[in-house]
Structure 1
Amino acid sequence: MQYLLLIYGNEAEKLKMDPTDRKKLSAEYGAYTQSIVQSGNFKAGDGLQPTTTATTVRVRDGKIMTTDGPFAETREQLAGYYLVEAKDLDAAIGMAARIPGAKDGSIEVRPVMIYDK
């Protein structure tokens, strides 16, 4: 089954990181990504640009409305994701717990819907 591992963290804190810590975190993500690629669990994944680049789209009464920025003000922002293949929820949780961002943020684990053909 496929699971989406959504990485949430405090964007403002990440921007304050000194270059050495940022480089260390990047290396941790690289090692994690390489491990799930090698294990065959990796399907897709990317980091996201800051929330200042986001646009929220809504359609109300047939009219398209856009708003700059994220949908809601929160302490943690969606920073990236991994799409993984896991035998069950416990395996997906195990993968999520190894994501570097879990140490100071949170990882949401969501099963991907399966559509009948």
Structure 2
Amino acid sequence: MRYVVLIAYEPGHWEAADESVRQEYFDAHHAFEAYVEQHGWRLASAALSDADLATTIRRDGATGDVVTDGPFVELTEQIGGYYDVELPDLDAAIAAAKLLPRAYTLEIRPVVGVEGYEGR
């Protein structure tokens, strides 16, 4: 089964962390990655820039596209990264996600195919 694990955290948390806290985060990510490698595989992963560097495109058929700098909504937590993994089932995805830092809010979503659409 394919899952995307979305990682949300408080803005500024990483910048405020000292070296020992940062090392704990690295260790947790390495534990997650090792678990995934033992039970499935990682297809992709990335850290994302802060939302203040985002560009939002709001689609509106009546007025056309509106492109703005910054996030679409104000949030206390922001998506800061993701893992795209294949694991046997949701229980394995949950077990892997629990290895990531406790300061994160994690959302696990199954990846679904869209009938009639073949991606490249």
Same fold by TM-score greater than 0.5: yes
Q: Which residue of 1 aligns with 2:14?
A: 14
Q: Which residue of 2 aligns with 1:113?
A: 112
Q: Which residue of 2 aligns with 1:59?
A: 59
> Which structure shows the bigger proportion of residues in helix conformation?
1
Asked if the contact 1:52–1:69 (Cα under 8 Å) also holds between the matched residues in 2, the reply is yes
Structure 2 residue 69 is the aligned partner of structure 1 residue 68: yes
Q: Which residue of 2 aligns with 1:89?
A: 90
Asked if the contact 2:25–2:100 (Cα under 8 Å) also holds between the matched residues in 1, the reply is no
Q: Distance in 1 between matches of 2:32 and 2:94?
A: 14
Could you tell me the percent identity over the aligned residues?
35
Letter in 1 for 2:10: N
Instruction: Report SS of the residue matched to 1:11.
Output: coil
TM-score, length-scaled by structure 2 = 0.81
Instruction: Report SS of the residue matched to 1:49.
Output: coil
Q: Distance in 1 between matches of 2:20 and 2:92?
A: 32
Query: Offset at 1:105?
Result: 2.0
Q: Which residue of 2 aligns with 1:40?
A: 40
Q: CA RMSD, aligned part only?
A: 2.0
Query: Offset at 1:96?
Result: 1.4
